[in-house]
Amino acid sequence: MMRKKRRPSAGKGEGATSTTKAKKSRSTAPKSKEPAPEETNERVFGVFLREAGVTLKQAGTSNEIAVDQIVFQKRLQKQLQKSPRYPGIVQEFAAGLESHIEDPERFRNCLLPCVPRLSDGNSDNVSSFQESLLRMLLGIEMLQTVIINTLLEKLPEFMFDGAGDGGLNIPHTIINQFKWLDRVMDSKELAAKLMELVSVAPVEVQRDIISSLPEILEDSQHNDIAKELNSLLQENTQITVPILDALSSLNLSSSILTEVRGAVMVTLAAVQLEDLPVVVKFILHSVSASDAYEVVRDLRKKLELEQCVLPLVLQASQSLIKSKGSAGSASAPSAGSSQDSVTLILDGIKSAVRFQKTISEAWLKAIESVDEEEDHKVLDLLVLFILHSTNANQSRRGAERVLKVKVRSGFIQEVLLQRTFRDYAQVMRGYFPSILALAQSLLRSPDPCVVPFGGHMYRHSFTAFDSYCQQEVVGSLVTHVCSGVGGEVDMALELLCGLVTEKHSEMALYAVFVKGILDYMDNLTPQQIRRLFHLLSSLAFGQQQQQGSHIQDDMHIVIRKQLSSTVPKYKRIGIIGAVRIVGSMGAARLKGKESKNVSLPQETLRHVTALLELVKSSIESSPEAAALYYDELSNLMLSSTLDPQVQENIGKCVIDDFQVDFVADLGPEMSGSFPLTPCVMYDLEGQGNIAINLLPLLANDIKTKGEQHSQTTKAHKRVSPLGLCPFFRLLRVCEHRLHQGDLDEIDGLLGCPLILTDMDVMEKMESRSKAEREFLCTLLFYTINWFREVINAFCEQKETEMKMKVMTRLQNITYLQTLLERALAVTPGFVPPVANFDGESTDGVTLSSAAPVSKAKKDGAGKKRKAPAKISSESGSQLDEATEAEKTQQEQPEKEVRHSVSLVPYRPYFRELDMEVLNVLQCGLLSCSLLDSELHTKVREEVLLGPAELVFLLEDMHRKLEFSLTAAPAKRTPFFKGRADKSLGFSHLQQRSPKDIASYCVQLLPALCSHLENCHNHFQTMMSENNGIVDGPATDVQEHNLMSSGYQLLLQVLNTTLSWSGFSQPGQRSLLKKALGVLAVRLKEESAELTLAQLVKWVMETQLQVPGEPPRHDAKSQRGLVSLPASVHCVGERRRPCCLQRADGFPRETIPRPRLGHSQRREGTREQIQ
């Protein structure tokens, strides 16, 4: 089919409308009977080709060639040169070509490769592949310029046609004829004509021409054409990709390349999303070592990946529109295409950093130079993952180092990581091995500031990626748990528990992996074992237990095996595991949006009851195991919500059993033989008829232990005083749960007396036998622990009478501790009874070396050296040796000094106080009226929190804060060295998160500030009354020492609270503001209206309104006062506490050095409160 020749309109430009003189003459020549010149020229064209070896065919058939194309070119050139009409014959030949290709089908044949002609039998001389006729003619130098002009004139005719019927794109094919010619006769002219075509051609043709320029032009034209392309790039962003592709392939000078790169960087924000990968690739591949950092820094600032990905809401709405068949916006990128573009961008960055070391170093330096949290982008994390994924060790180490530095400084936080996983999960999937390796490194880091970020990487990886990645995440976390490193194990178990809560159905698929941790329980602490069994029991026996039921049998086998073990350690594991399974199986079921409780299935209730009976039967002969069971049950009921049937089953016999085992009716006399004379002590009720049967129970227990050496079986359950406190704790929790916090049924136990012995025996302890001394020490330990547990139970009661009794019990404890110190001093080698049953109490403490008996020594001057003062902090904060020597010099030789030891090494043998006990710090003067028989006021009783009780509570609070809020670096246990469990005595505290503890401390800040001001006023009053001397002749040394210790502890508690690293997290800024507001409101009434930054500044300037300083001999109090404001400043600036400066505003020179008098320890001379 013949096509009419198209003539471009005048609007297309002069180049598109210009014609040759031959065409003009041809179009205007009058018709005649003689053959037209075109026919003659075409005949000449055909004859020359046929003689050279090419036969022209009609439409639909390719031109044939009988010889090799090189032979054809030589023959044709030779024929033209030998022609008599040379050089005019060249123009005739060109005119014949023009006439021949007037027909579009003939033109198409000339653009397509020729086919060999095999009919003459000379096929061996013809290659299987031949070029097109026009391509071969371009290879002849005398014809090249004419052929180029002819093709460029033909090109505008087909610019807007697109692909033809056979899929042949004529403009694209014409441009391909010019590529890779052996020689271009006039390269400059060809470049000019091509760029002229670019100015008028449609976008598709422009892209073809520009992309082909490196293959068409000679090197000498590269710089000139680069300048023109640079100008074109700034005018038209639609052809950015082909221009940059061409520029990347051109051999350019450094100055031209820098100029082009600068222009590209300017237009980066306007580049379309699908063109960004090419732009980024060009920029990174065009840098040199000298300017790599500047280029990468600018690229990082201007490359906004957040704008490349649609938000999740828009993605969902776009998918909905597409699903409904709506046309939508054709130009708007879909979620998949945007993710693909981001992937290509990152691939370009990856290829650049892999092959150019300077670029990888520049990326690290650019990310490291960012000094504001808001300036960090998603791109920073993605590039760090890319750098870590390369094979270069230096890049891997550098990426890991930079990430740790940024996380430690708080510049890269979990919010940025969450956004990265949320918007780029598909992109990040390719870098999962690097993400997993970085998470492992962070979780194993000894720096506690970076460990949580590694946990966030694990959690988001499990949530965002596929099942393979989820399996790898679980396997890696299991490896962390089995490592035996404390912080690493805790974080891994916390992550696994969190994943079970959030993604229970997915985690159930990997329950077998988690079950493997059971083989490594020897390396786990009791709290870690609790978490492990909580994790496994949730998977196996939770409300969605059908998915994890395949490990139920294994769990039952492990529990039975551990409970039947005779080794105490494994029996403890069995008890902890069984109680956790009870918690999962017996958890309250909630149904529907109204959160109504659903009754527990009878089959499940039967299994819970059977498991509880199994544990009871295994602990009958072991008081330690029974005590642990009671403690674990009480902790379970406090931390979880059990089904009412399970709670009733646990508590139905508790109160009756407690009365039978531990409560005795008071009679006229007590029968039996006891090491010490029984005496009813510490009765707060006045007319009590019952008492805690402690001394007879202890004597009977010691007797029973002696009989066990000759008996192998027991006929009845053994009742030991070891179970007194744990059993009472379980009783209290059951009453609290069953009666919605009402303890009226058991409130008589708060003031209930105890059957002890008269404490006058302390006066002649040295003369008593070793058995009697150890019996008294044991009795004192049990008594103190009973009072501690009673305070735990009733510290939250609101009635004034109950508060007074709690305060009195605190006074009882502080007095009994002075007696215990003296008793231990004359009882060397004594091992106290166990009070915390979830660990090896005696393994972590060596009492013989940690707390030696303090004997009075005489120095050269005949003076006695007393024992060190009472230690009041976890690290054994005794007074400095220099201070002790100074005080000893002031002692009188004739003054009798009683022997005593410090109780610090014995702390694991005391029951743990709950955080709620610290509420007592908020109590002031308590008073109530006592009535006689006629209900008339008999006397008014008052109770005040004294210095000894204040120090006691502050010591406990400081130890709790040091354990929970102070992040210690993770250390591996030496292979040949036993590990002391520092968590012993903090079992209840470990059930709380650091955030809860910090919040509780912030609530106590007003009371702590009041106590701090009272201590300060006390010393100011003393100095004013004694002319600047802290301890004058009339000073009560005991009270002075207590107030000094209280002052020191108050500052340490405030400093530890405000130094908590959690305040730097975005979610805790409100809590920090509340804490600083408490401090500022005592100084400025309108401080509630201040912002966080203003509060920090105000507190720093006013310094807590303490114009003086603590007693000069108390160096630690001075350091605490100096540390406090700097801690506030560091937390307010989101930095970790650093070296602190003195900022109390009081001139150091104006504080006179106190002359210390007779510094003595408390001697227990206070009146016994009964």
Give the N- to C-terminal CA distance of the chain in Å, as an integer. Answer: 123
Asked if residue 312 has pLDDT above 80, the reply is no
Sign of CA dihedral 521, 525, 531, 537: positive
Average pLDDT over residues 774-794: 95
Q: Give CA 24 to chain center in angstroms.
A: 80
Report d(CA 603, CA 611) in Å as an integer.
13
Q: What is the pLDDT of residue 1104?
A: 44
- 51-65, 634-648, 962-976: segment of lowest average pLDDT: 962-976
Report d(CA 1094, CA 517) in Å as an integer.
50
Q: How confident is the model at residue 1133 (pLDDT cuts 50, 70, 90)?
A: low
Q: How confident is the model at residue 370 (pLDDT cuts 50, 70, 90)?
A: very high
Average pLDDT over residues 46-57: 89
Tell me which of 950 and 305 has the higher pLDDT. 950
Q: How confident is the model at residue 598 (pLDDT cuts 50, 70, 90)?
A: confident
Q: Give CA 1129 to chain center in angstroms.
A: 24
Residue 890 three-state SS? coil
Q: How confident is the model at residue 1052 (pLDDT cuts 50, 70, 90)?
A: very high
Q: How confident is the model at residue 557 (pLDDT cuts 50, 70, 90)?
A: very high
Q: How confident is the model at residue 832 (pLDDT cuts 50, 70, 90)?
A: very high
pTM: 0.78
Q: Which residue has the tokens 């460029």?
A: 152
Report d(CA 958, CA 964) in Å as an integer.
10
Asked if residue 372 has pLDDT above 60, the reply is yes
Is-contact 813 945, C-beta < 8 A?
no
Q: What is the pLDDT of residue 379?
A: 92
DSSP secondary structure string, 602-647?
HHHHHHHHHHHHHHHHHHTT-HHHHHHHHHHHHHHHHHS-B-HHHH
Q: What is the pLDDT of residue 711?
A: 53
Tell me which of 205 and 707 has the higher pLDDT. 205
Closest CA to 366 of 312, 284, 415, 298: 298
User: What type of residue is 965?
Assistant: L
Phi, psi at 1017, each rounded to 5°: -65, -35
Q: pLDDT tens across 411-458, in order?
A: 998 999 999 999 999 999 999 999 999 999 999 998 888 999 999 999
Tell me which of 811 and 707 has the higher pLDDT. 811
Q: What is the pLDDT of residue 1072?
A: 85
Q: What is the pLDDT of residue 543?
A: 67
Q: pLDDT tens across 85-100, in order?
A: 888 888 989 999 999 9
Q: How confident is the model at residue 1126 (pLDDT cuts 50, 70, 90)?
A: low
Q: What is the pLDDT of residue 9?
A: 39
Tell me which of 20 and 478 has the higher pLDDT. 478
Is-contact 388 422, C-beta < 8 A?
no
Average pLDDT over residues 518-542: 90
Tokens of 665: 């009716």
Q: What is the pLDDT of residue 981?
A: 64
Q: pLDDT tens across 876-908, in order?
A: 333 333 333 334 334 433 334 456 788 999 999
Tell me which of 119 and 727 has the higher pLDDT. 727
Is-contact 896 873, C-beta < 8 A?
no
Q: How confident is the model at residue 340 (pLDDT cuts 50, 70, 90)?
A: confident
Query: To 5 degrees, how large is the angle CA 152–CA 155–CA 156?
Result: 115
Burial of 347 (0-12, 13-18, 19+ CB in 10 A): middle
Tell me which of 1168 and 202 has the higher pLDDT. 202
Q: What is the pLDDT of residue 165?
A: 62
If you average pLDDT over each of 370-379, 693-702, 775-784, which comes out highest?
775-784
| H/E run at residue 163 | none
Asked if residue 1118 has pLDDT above 70, the reply is no
Tell me which of 704 and 908 has the higher pLDDT. 908
Report d(CA 583, CA 605) in Å as an integer.
12
Average pLDDT over residues 1016-1029: 82
Q: What is the pLDDT of residue 466?
A: 93
Asked if residue 604 has pLDDT above 80, the reply is yes
Average pLDDT over residues 688-709: 82
Q: Provide the residue count of the chain.
A: 1170
- Can you list the positions of beta strands (E) in 308-402? none
If you average pLDDT over each of 161-175, 500-514, 716-730, which comes out highest?
500-514
Average pLDDT over residues 632-648: 89
Whether the upstream peptide bond of residue 87 has omega within 30° of 0, thus cis, is yes
Q: What percent of the chain has a predicted confidence (pLDDT) above 90?
A: 33
Tokens of 462: 């499990």
Asked if residue 1158 has pLDDT above 90, the reply is no
Q: How confident is the model at residue 368 (pLDDT cuts 50, 70, 90)?
A: very high
In order of 196, 478, 752, the CA distances from 975 in angstroms are: 80, 22, 50
In order of 65, 67, 78, 120, 739, the CA distances from 126 in angstroms are: 8, 5, 20, 11, 105
